[in-house]
Structures are given as structure tokens and as C-alpha cells.
């Protein structure tokens, strides 16, 4: 709990704090008895029992059958997060696919669907309607498994503010509201809707389900058609003053470089963005010409690099150098602790990471760069939608009173 600096800490905020504390302990240590929770969090058994009653009633916790008695006294009943309780839906709209999933309170993905769709070929409203239908189908499937979907989070490759997509250039969206069209797709069972940037949500997924298990801070890089980043600091996402932080793709890699689609010269995306990379490798970026419609062009690029195709290797080497130059600047400015390469960079790391490492070693101040601080995401392409659903679950767990 953070008690706001300008207010006194009172009983209501203490109860809120302690309820989240108990729930988090059970999430981390369950199955666990009430007495076990009390001793681990430092509250009295009576306080814990009272908080647990409320959490059971709200369906956030479940009791397990009594264990075999090991000591004198009444046998303990263990507590776990309710796997048939509230759940959260994530849905991702990206340039050439959409995906949805449902995550339960324990963080397990219970339903997961993906649909190919070119977000540039249809209107934003139509895209959102289809995304809403996909999310609705996942929510229905989750209800059949006894879950109660309680929130929906949308992930988009763009800048988001106040529930709108301010700018998603690769989708060609600008100042686009999302809730109405998504809700229309969801149908008769509406959900509260949030929206966030896909790199932010993928970074959070990495924090909760990937390298974050060992690292409390890192810069997550999402290499897709655009290049986004999510900065994790002390286990929290850093959003910047107006929520626009993370535009790594438009950091300058070479001030005299070619003109970027954004209007500036020499942005990182001019070498390391997916379209520049494919073009430099001599791959047709239009889908369906040389590649099967269901296959990502990144898979083909990796195949060519494996076959030592000179154009592919040169393109990846140049992308890696540009990426390393920009990441070294980010490390000098931010000292993020570690960097995680995600999105398509996870698949391309064997070719992109070595030149990036060279630039980092040569450019990070005072020889402070440790090569092991550059890592590859284990989550792959599903990171953003997983993060979207998990964000909803985290919100339920961190403020259980709001879920009641």
C-alpha cells in the first residue's frame, strides 16, 4: 500500500492494505493455513480470519479439504486462490493478427485464441468489432469452465491515453476510441474495458511470467513492424509524464541517416524495424506473395540467415548495430539493469544480439556493460495478450475490495 503523502493513514486504508497483503501471500505461498498466513505477514490470527472470510465470500479464495492431522488440535484448512473465481480477458490487435486469452487468479492461461487478420485492410471499427467477438468467445469458453470474467484489457501497437488510441501509425489509427466497438463485439455480457500499449503489456508479462522472476528492473524491447519498449523499474512499469514513454524505434541511430516514416532522420526503425529489415534482406514484405499467408516473414528471414544468405546476414548485422547503438544510449541515460529482446527479436537474436553486444560494450560509459545483461524473451509473440489479461488479474488481486 502507498498511503498518499497528503492524507493520514486510517483504518479503512489499513484494512485494504492488509487484505491485499493476505491475498498476495496466499498467491505466493498457497496452499497455506490461516495460521501460516498470520505468522508470515505479521498480523494476528483473528485479523487474518476476518479478512479471509470476506475474500472467500467474494470468491477470490477457495478452501482445500482438511489435510491429514499432523499435530494436536483441530486440523488446518488450507487456502488457495479460487481457480473458479474472477478472471480477466486480454485481447491484442496487431498489424497482421489478433489474439485473445483468459487468465485466472492464479495467473494460468485458461483459454487462448488467435486469428489472422490484416488490421490495415479493414476499418478500425471493424477490427475492434472482430476483436470484441474473439474476446467474447474466450469469455464464454471461460464461463463454461466455471470462471467469472470480470475485466478486459486491449493491447495495441500505438500510443494510448485516456482509453483512446492516440496514434497507432502501423495500424493507421489516429485518435481512435475503442470501448464502443469492442463492447459491440462482446455482445450481451459487457466487461469494464482498459487499453494499453502492446510493448508495455508485453514488458509486464515478462515481469510477471518471464525474466522478471529474477530481475526487478529491465528494458523490454518489442521488435515488430514498429519497435516499442517497456521500462520496468522496481517491479513497476515506467510510463513517463504523459504515458508516451517507450518510443525506442524513434531514438536516433544515425543523425544523417535515411528519412523515417515519422519524418525524422535516422531513427532506429530505419534499420531494425521489420519492414526495413525485410527489404534490406531482399524479402518481399507484402504477405502472400512468396510466403504462405499463415507464415510470418520473420520465420523466412531466420531460415535464410540459417542458410547463410548474404543479404539476410548483412541486414541482420546492420539492424543489430543500430539496435546496440541506441540501446547503449538508453543504458547510459537510464541504467535499466538488463535488456530483454522480445517480439520478433527473440527469434532473430542469434544474428542480431552479437553486433548489438559489440556496440553496447564499446558505448556504455566507464566499461560498465555486462554482456549477460542482454537477454532474450522466453515468452515469444504471445507476450502482449498474456500481459493484457494478467494486468486485469493483478488489478483484482491488488485491490480485492474493488472486486467485491
The whole-angstrom separation of Cα 304 and Cα 291 is 13
The answer to the question of residue 73 lying near a copy of itself (CB under 8 A) is no
The answer to the question of residue 332 lying near a copy of itself (CB under 8 A) is yes
Give the range of 65-73, 78-86, 135-143, 320-328 binding a copy of itself by CB under 8 A. 320-328
Q: Which is nearer to a copy of itself, 98 or 326 (CB)?
A: 326
Beta carbon of residue 135, minimum distance to a copy of itself (angstroms, whole number):
28
Is residue 156 within 8 A of residue 128, CB to CB? The reply is: no
DSSP assignment string, 282-332? T---STTSSS-TTS-HHHHHHHHHHTT-HHHHHHHHHHHHHHHHHHHHHHH
C-alpha cell at 247: 518510443
| Residue of 18, 19, 41 lying closest to 29 (CA atoms) | 41
Long-range contacts from 252-258, C-beta under 8 angstroms, 24+ separation: 252/326, 253/322, 253/323, 253/325, 253/326, 254/322, 254/325
* Packed helices 11-29 and 383-398: angle between N→C axes, nearest 10 degrees: 130
Beta carbon of residue 12, minimum distance to a copy of itself (angstroms, whole number):
12
| Residue of 166, 149, 171 lying closest to 97 (CA atoms) | 171
Beta carbon of residue 232, minimum distance to a copy of itself (angstroms, whole number):
10
In the region spanning residues 363 to 392, those forming contacts with a copy of itself, defined by CB under 8 A, are 363-368
The whole-angstrom separation of Cα 193 and Cα 164 is 11
In the region spanning residues 208 to 267, those forming contacts with a copy of itself, defined by CB under 8 A, are 217, 229, 231, 233, 238-248, 250-256, 262-265
The answer to the question of residue 165 lying near a copy of itself (CB under 8 A) is no
Beta carbon of residue 305, minimum distance to a copy of itself (angstroms, whole number):
23
The answer to the question of residue 107 lying near a copy of itself (CB under 8 A) is no
Beta carbon of residue 229, minimum distance to a copy of itself (angstroms, whole number):
7
The answer to the question of residue 167 lying near a copy of itself (CB under 8 A) is yes
Q: Which is nearer to a copy of itself, 185 or 324 (CB)?
A: 324
Beta-carbon count within 10 A of 50 CB: 15
Q: Which is nearer to a copy of itself, 84 or 368 (CB)?
A: 368
The whole-angstrom separation of Cα 225 and Cα 249 is 10
Beta carbon of residue 185, minimum distance to a copy of itself (angstroms, whole number):
27
Beta carbon of residue 395, minimum distance to a copy of itself (angstroms, whole number):
15
Contacts to a copy of itself by CB under 8 A: 1-3, 5-9, 14, 17-18, 21, 24, 41-43, 159, 166-167, 169, 217, 229, 231, 233, 238-248, 250-256, 262-265, 325-326, 328-330, 332-338, 362-368
Amino acid at each position: 500500500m502507498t498511503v498518499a503523502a497528503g492524507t493520514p493513514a486510517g483504518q479503512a486504508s489499513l484494512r485494504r492494505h492488509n487484505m491485499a497483503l493476505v491475498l498476495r501471500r496466499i498467491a505466493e505461498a498457497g496452499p497455506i493455513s490461516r495460521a501460516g498466513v498470520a505468522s508470515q505477514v505479521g498480523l494476528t490470527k483473528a485479523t487474518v480470519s476476518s479478512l479471509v472470510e470476506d475474500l472467500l465470500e467474494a470468491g477470490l479464495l477457495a478452501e482445500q479439504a482438511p489435510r491429514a492431522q499432523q499435530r494436536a488440535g483441530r486440523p488446518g484448512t488450507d487456502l488457495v486462490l479460487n481457480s473458479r473465481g474472477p478472471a480477466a480477458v486480454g485481447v491484442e490487435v496487431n498489424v497482421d493478427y489478433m489474439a485473445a486469452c483468459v487468465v485466472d487468479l492464479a495467473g494460468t492461461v485458461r483459454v487462448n485464441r488467435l486469428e489472422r487478420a490484416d488490421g490495415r485492410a479493414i476499418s478500425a471499427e471493424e477490427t475492434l468489432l472482430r476483436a470484441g467477438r474473439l474476446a467474447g468467445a474466450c469469455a464464454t469458453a471461460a464461463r463454461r469452465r466455471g470462471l467469472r470474467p470480470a475485466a478486459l484489457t486491449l493491447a495495441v501497437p500505438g500510443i494510448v491515453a485516456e482509453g483512446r488510441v492516440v496514434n497507432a501509425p502501423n495500424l493507421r489509427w489516429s485518435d481512435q476510441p475503442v470501448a464502443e466497438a469492442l463492447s459491440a463485439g462482446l455482445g450481451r455480457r459487457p466487461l469494464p474495458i482498459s487499453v494499453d500499449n502492446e510493448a508495455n503489456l508485453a514488458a509486464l508479462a515478462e515481469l510477471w511470467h518471464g525474466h522478471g522472476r529474477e530481475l526487478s528492473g529491465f528494458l523490454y524491447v518489442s521488435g515488430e513492424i514498429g519497435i516499442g519498449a517497456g521500462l520496468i523499474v522496481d517491479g513497476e512499469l515506467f510510463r513517463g509524464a504523459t504515458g508516451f514513454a517507450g518510443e525506442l524505434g524513434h531514438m536516433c541511430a544515425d543523425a544523417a541517416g535515411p528519412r523515417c516514416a515519422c519524418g525524422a532522420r535516422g531513427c532506429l526503425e530505419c534499420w531494425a524495424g521489420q519492414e526495413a529489415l525485410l527489404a534490406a534482406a531482399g524479402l518481399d514484405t507484402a504477405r502472400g506473395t512468396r510466403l504462405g499467408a499463415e507464415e510470418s516473414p520473420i520465420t523466412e528471414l531466420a531460415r535464410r540467415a540459417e542458410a547463410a544468405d548474404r543479404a539476410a546476414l548483412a541486414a541482420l548485422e546492420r539492424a543489430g548495430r543500430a539496435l546496440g547503438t541506441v540501446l547503449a544510449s538508453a543504458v547510459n541515460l537510464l541504467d535499466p539493469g538488463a535488456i530483454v529482446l522480445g517480439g520478433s527479436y527473440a527469434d532473430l537474436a542469434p544474428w542480431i544480439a552479437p553486433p548489438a553486444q559489440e556496440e553496447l560494450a564499446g558505448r556504455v560509459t566507464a566499461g560498465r556493460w555486462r554482456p549477460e545483461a542482454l537477454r532474450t524473451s522466453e515468452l515469444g509473440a504471445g507476450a502482449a495478450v498474456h500481459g493484457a489479461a494478467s494486468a486485469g488479474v493483478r488489478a483484482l488481486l491488488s485491490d480485492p475490495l474493488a472486486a467485491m
